[in-house]
C-alpha cells in the first residue's frame, strides 16, 4: 500500500465520520432512529438497498465463487426482477400500514403470535449467519491487504485476520449506535457509487491484463462444465460415475429454478434487513421509486463482482496472478483460496491511488452490510420485543434501548468470531445458502398467501411459520451430521439420504409443505373478519387507495421497470451460451 492509497482511504473515512456526526444530531424519536424520520429520498433508498445487499458475500464470497464455481451464483445476482416486485406489489401494503418492521406487519395482518415467531427467527438468523459472514469477510480483506500487521494484547500476538475482524465490528458498531438508520442510508448512498466505480475498475484492469474478453472465454471453455451458468441434473464424475439427481451437491438447473425465486422473494420482499429502507421514504411514490432504482443497480453485480472472480481464475491459470491456496486445519483443500481472489486482484493489478479507492470500497461494502444488519436487529428487538413488553416507554427511552440493543448485537458478533472462523474453513458461503434455503420457504409462503388471499387466517400463518421453521432447521441439522461426505454418519441410511438431498430441492419441498399447512389450517378454522383484513390484502384495498396508487405512477417508473427487465433478460441470454 502506497501513501497515496492511505490518503484516499483516510479521506473517505473522514467524510464518513462527518456524515455520522450530522446524522446523530437528529435522533429524538424512534422514527428518527429506526426509519430516519420517514423523510428519505428515492436515490438514497435505492442506493442503500444495493449497498446493504452488496456486502461480504459479494465482495469476497461472490468473486471467490466465480473463481471456483463460475456462473453458478449468478442466478442469485439477477434478482433485480424480484426487487421490482418489492416496489410494485409489496411496498404499498407495508407503507400504508405504517409499520416499523416486518413482524409488526404480520401482527396487523394475522396475530401477535406470528409477530413473535418471525422476530425470534430473524434475530437468531441475523446474529449467527449474516454477522458471522460479514465479519469473516472483513477479516479476510485485512489479512490480504495487511498480511504483516500484528498486535500484542492480553499476553497474545494477534494477526491480521483477528485485528481485521474486531476492527470491522467495532468501527461499524460505533457509527450505527450513534447515527441510526439516517447514518446508514446516507453513507450507503456514497458507498454504492464507490462500489460500482471500484469494482468496474477491477474488471477493466483484469481484462486488460488477461488480454480481453475473448481470452477469458477461451480459458473458461476448458472448464465449461465447472463454470457454466446452467448445471446438469445428474453430472458425470471424472471416473465415469453418474451422481443421482437428488444427491447432486452442485447447483442443478432445476433446483435453481425452484429455490431461487423462493429465496429471492423472502430476502428482497419480506426481510427486515432489506425492506426497512423503503419504510423510511417520505411517501409511497418515493418508496416505490427507491425500490426500482435499487433494482436497476442490482443488475450489475454479475459483471462487477462475479466476472472478476472468473478473470482471477483465468489469470491464475496463465500464471499472471498469485493467490495462496486454501488451507483448512493445516491441509491444502484447494489450489486457490477463493475468498482472497478479489483483494489479491486489487493489490496486484490496480495502480496507486485507484487501489486506495477500491480498498475504501471494499471496507465500505463490509461496513455497509454490517451497519444495516445492526440497525435492523436493533429495530426488531426494540419495536417487536421491548415495546411489546413495555408499551409505556417514551420515545427517547426507545432510542436508548435501540442503541443498547445494537451494542449487544455487536458484542455477540465479536463473541461468535472464533466459532465462525472454524465454520468458515469448511465452506461458509454454501452453508449460508443452505440456511437461507431453509429459512425462506415458510416466510415466503405466509407473506404471499397473506397478501393475495384474504381467506388465510392467523391460525394458518402461525402453524405455517412454526412447522416450516422446525422442518427447515431439522433438515439443516441432519445435513450437517449425516450423509456420505467426510465426517458425516452414513447410518441410519434414511437420515443419510435426507442429509444428502440437495438443499435447492429441499427448499422447494419445504415451500410446498408450508403452503399446504397454511391453506389446510386456514380452511379448517374460521375466516378472518372484514375488519381484520381491511387494506391488508389485494382483495380488500379501498378504491381511494387504488386511485392514489395509480396516480403516483409516472413514466419514469414504467421505463425503469422495462429497462431493468430487459437487462436481466439480456444477461440470461448471453451467459447461457457464452461458453458454447
Residue 524, classified by CB atoms within 10 Å of its CB into exposed (0-12), middle (13-18) or buried (19+), is exposed
Q: Which helix (H) or strand (E) holds 324?
A: none
Degrees, nearest 5: CA angle 78-280-103: 80
Q: Which helix (H) or strand (E) holds 43?
A: helix 42-53
Q: For residue 402, tell me if it sits in a domain.
A: yes
Q: What is the pLDDT of residue 423?
A: 46
Q: Cα–Cα distance between 468 and 122 in angstroms, integer? A: 14
Q: For residue 254, tell me if it sits in a domain.
A: yes
Q: Considering only CA atoms, which of 538, 551, 322 is closest in space to residue 450?
A: 538
Instruction: Determine the 3-state secondary structure of 328 from DSSP.
Output: strand
- The backbone torsions φ and ψ at residue 211, rounded to the nearest 5 degrees and listed phi first, read 115, 15
Instruction: Determine the 3-state secondary structure of 299 from DSSP.
Output: coil
Q: What is the pLDDT of residue 86?
A: 93
Question: Which grid coordinates belong to 56?
Answer: 461480504
Q: For residue 344, tell me if it sits in a domain.
A: yes
The length of the chain is 580
The parent domain of residue 189 ranges over: 3-20+29-427+555-577
How many domains are there within the chain?
1
Q: Which helix (H) or strand (E) holds 366?
A: helix 354-381
Q: What is the pLDDT of residue 129?
A: 67
Q: Cα–Cα distance between 362 and 5 in angstroms, integer? A: 13
Q: For residue 113, tell me if it sits in a domain.
A: yes
Q: What is the pLDDT of residue 420?
A: 54
Q: What is the pTM of this model?
A: 0.84
Contact present, 441 and 507 (Cβ < 8 Å): yes
Contact present, 340 and 324 (Cβ < 8 Å): yes
Q: Which helix (H) or strand (E) holds 334?
A: strand 331-334
Question: Which grid coordinates belong to 424?
Answer: 468458515
Q: Considering only CA atoms, which of 122, 125, 130 is closest in space to residue 52?
A: 130
Q: For residue 329, tell me if it sits in a domain.
A: yes
Q: Cα–Cα distance between 43 and 32 in angstroms, integer? A: 19
Question: Which grid coordinates belong to 527?
Answer: 375466516
Contact present, 17 and 188 (Cβ < 8 Å): no
Q: Cα–Cα distance between 72 and 372 in angstroms, integer? A: 27
Q: Cα–Cα distance between 482 and 18 in angstroms, integer? A: 52
For the domain that residue 247 is a member of, what is the CATH number?
1.20.1730.10
Q: For residue 464, tell me if it sits in a domain.
A: no
Question: Which grid coordinates belong to 464?
Answer: 405455517
Residue 365 CA: distances (Å) to CA of 203, 358, 369, 415:
17, 10, 6, 22
Q: Cα–Cα distance between 95 and 14 in angstroms, integer? A: 34
Q: What is the pLDDT of residue 304?
A: 79
Q: Cα–Cα distance between 440 and 462 in angstroms, integer? A: 15
pLDDT in tens, the chain (580 residues): 677 877 877 887 787 777 666 665 555 555 555 454 556 788 888 887 887 777 655 677 777 778 877 888 888 888 999 999 999 999 888 888 877 788 888 888 998 888 888 888 887 777 666 776 777 777 777 776 667 777 776 677 777 767 777 777 777 766 666 655 566 666 666 666 777 777 788 888 889 999 999 999 999 998 888 888 998 888 887 777 888 888 877 789 999 999 999 999 998 999 887 887 888 788 888 889 999 999 999 988 888 788 888 998 899 888 888 877 776 556 666 677 777 787 788 888 888 878 887 777 777 667 766 776 777 777 778 877 888 888 888 877 887 887 787 777 777 766 766 655 544 444 455 666 677 888 899 999 999 999 999 999 999 999 999 999 999 988 888 887 888 776 678 888 899 899 889 989 999 999 999 999 999 999 999 999 988 888 888 888 888 888 877 878 888 899 999 999 999 999 999 999 998 8
Q: For residue 514, tell me if it sits in a domain.
A: no
Q: Which helix (H) or strand (E) holds 439?
A: helix 428-452
Residue 538: Cβ within 10 Å count: 13
Residue 530, classified by CB atoms within 10 Å of its CB into exposed (0-12), middle (13-18) or buried (19+), is exposed
Query: What's the pLDDT tens digit per position in 298-311?
Result: 988 888 788 888 99
- The backbone torsions φ and ψ at residue 237, rounded to the nearest 5 degrees and listed phi first, read -75, 165
Q: For residue 261, tell me if it sits in a domain.
A: yes
Instruction: Write the CB contacts of 48 (distance below 8 Å, at least 6 apart in sequence).
Output: 184, 185, 188, 189, 192, 277, 294, 372
Cis link prior to 492 (omega < 30° from 0)? yes
With cell 415495546, the residue in question is: 387
Per residue, the 3-state secondary structure of 145-181, as one string, reads HCCCCCEEECCEEECHHHHHHHHHHHHHHHHHHHHHH
Contact present, 316 and 325 (Cβ < 8 Å): no
Contact present, 522 and 455 (Cβ < 8 Å): yes
Amino acid at each position: 500500500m502506497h501513501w497515496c492509497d492511505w490518503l484516499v482511504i483516510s479521506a473517505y473515512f473522514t467524510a464518513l465520520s462527518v456524515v455520522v456526526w450530522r446524522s446523530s444530531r437528529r435522533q429524538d424519536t424512534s422514527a428518527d432512529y429506526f426509519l430516519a424520520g420517514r423523510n428519505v429520498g428515492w436515490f438514497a433508498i435505492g442506493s442503500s438497498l444495493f449497498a446493504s445487499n452488496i456486502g461480504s458475500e459479494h465482495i469476497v464470497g461472490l468473486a471467490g465463487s466465480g473463481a471456483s464455481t463460475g456462473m453458478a451464483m449468478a442466478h442469485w445476482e439477477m434478482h433485480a426482477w424480484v426487487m421490482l416486485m418489492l416496489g410494485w406489489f409489496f411496498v404499498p401494503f407495508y407503507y400504508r400500514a405504517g409499520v416499523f418492521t416486518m413482524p409488526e406487519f404480520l401482527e396487523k395482518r394475522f396475530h401477535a403470535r406470528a409477530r413473535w415467531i418471525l422476530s425470534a427467527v430473524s434475530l437468531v438468523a441475523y446474529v449467527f449467519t449474516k454477522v458471522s459472514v460479514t465479519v469473516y469477510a472483513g477479516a479476510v480483506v485485512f489479512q490480504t491487504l495487511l498480511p504483516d500487521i500484528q498486535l500484542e494484547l492480553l499476553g497474545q500476538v494477534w494477526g491480521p485476520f483477528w485485528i481485521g475482524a474486531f476492527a470491522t465490528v467495532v468501527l461499524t458498531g460505533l457509527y450505527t449506535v450513534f447515527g441510526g438508520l439516517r447514518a446508514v442510508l446516507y453513507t450507503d448512498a456514497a458507498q454504492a457509487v464507490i462500489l460500482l466505480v471500484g469494482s468496474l475498475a477491477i474488471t477493466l484492469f483484469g481484462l486488460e491484463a488477461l488480454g480481453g474478453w475473448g481470452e477469458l472465454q477461451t480459458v473458461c471453455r476448458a472448464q465449461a462444465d465447472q463454470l457454466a451458468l446452467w448445471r446438469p441434473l445428474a453430472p458425470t464424475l471424472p471416473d465415469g460415475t453418474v451422481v443421482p439427481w437428488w444427491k447432486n451437491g452442485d447447483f442443478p438447473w432445476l433446483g435453481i429454478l425452484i429455490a431461487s425465486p423462493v429465496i429471492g422473494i423472502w430476502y428482497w420482499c419480506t426481510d427486515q434487513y432489506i425492506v426497512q429502507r423503503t419504510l423510511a421514504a417520505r411517501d409511497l411514490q418515493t418508496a416505490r421509486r427507491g425500490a426500482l432504482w435499487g433494482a436497476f443497480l442490482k443488475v450489475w453485480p454479475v459483471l462487477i463482482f462475479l466476472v472478476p472472480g472468473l478473470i482471477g481464475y483465468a489469470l491464475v491459470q496463465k500464471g499472471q496472478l498469485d493467490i495462496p491456496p486454501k488451507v483448512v486445519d493445516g491441509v491444502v483443500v484447494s489450489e486457490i483460496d477463493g475468498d482472497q481472489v478479489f483483494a489479491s486482484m486489487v493489490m496486484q493489478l490496480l495502480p496507486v491511488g485507484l487501489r486506495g479507492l477500491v480498498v475504501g470500497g471494499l471496507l465500505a461494502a463490509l461496513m455497509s452490510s454490517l451497519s444495516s444488519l445492526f440497525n435492523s436487529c436493533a429495530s426488531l428487538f426494540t419495536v417487536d420485543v421491548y415495546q411489546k413488553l413495555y408499551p409505556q416507554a417514551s420515545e427517547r427511552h426507545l432510542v436508548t434501548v435501540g442503541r443498547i440493543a445494537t451494542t449487544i448485537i455487536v458484542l455477540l458478533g465479536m463473541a461468535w468470531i472464533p466459532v465462525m472462523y472454524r465454520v468458515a474453513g469448511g465452506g461458509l458461503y454454501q452453508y449460508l445458502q443452505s440456511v437461507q434455503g431453509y429459512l425462506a420457504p415458510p416466510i415466503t409462503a405466509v407473506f404471499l398467501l397473506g397478501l393475495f388471499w384474504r381467506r388465510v387466517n392467523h391460525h394458518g400463518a402461525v402453524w405455517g411459520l412454526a412447522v416450516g421453521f422446525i422442518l427447515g432447521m431439522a433438515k439443516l441439522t441432519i445435513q450437517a451430521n449425516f450423509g456420505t461426505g467426510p465426517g458425516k454418519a452414513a447410518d441410519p441410511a434414511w437420515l443419510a439420504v435426507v442429509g444428502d438431498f440437495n438443499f435447492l430441492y429441499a427448499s422447494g419441498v419445504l415451500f410446498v409443505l408450508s403452503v399446504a399447512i397454511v391453506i389446510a389450517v386456514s380452511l379448517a378454522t374460521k375466516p378472518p373478519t372484514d375488519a381484520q383484513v381491511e387494506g391488508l390484502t389485494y382483495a380488500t384495498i379501498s378504491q381511494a387507495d387504488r386511485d392514489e396508487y395509480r396516480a403516483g405512477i409516472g413514466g419514469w417508473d414504467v421505463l425503469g421497470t422495462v429497462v431493468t427487465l430487459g437487462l436481466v433478460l439480456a444477461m440470461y441470454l448471453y451467459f447461457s451460451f457464452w461458453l458454447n
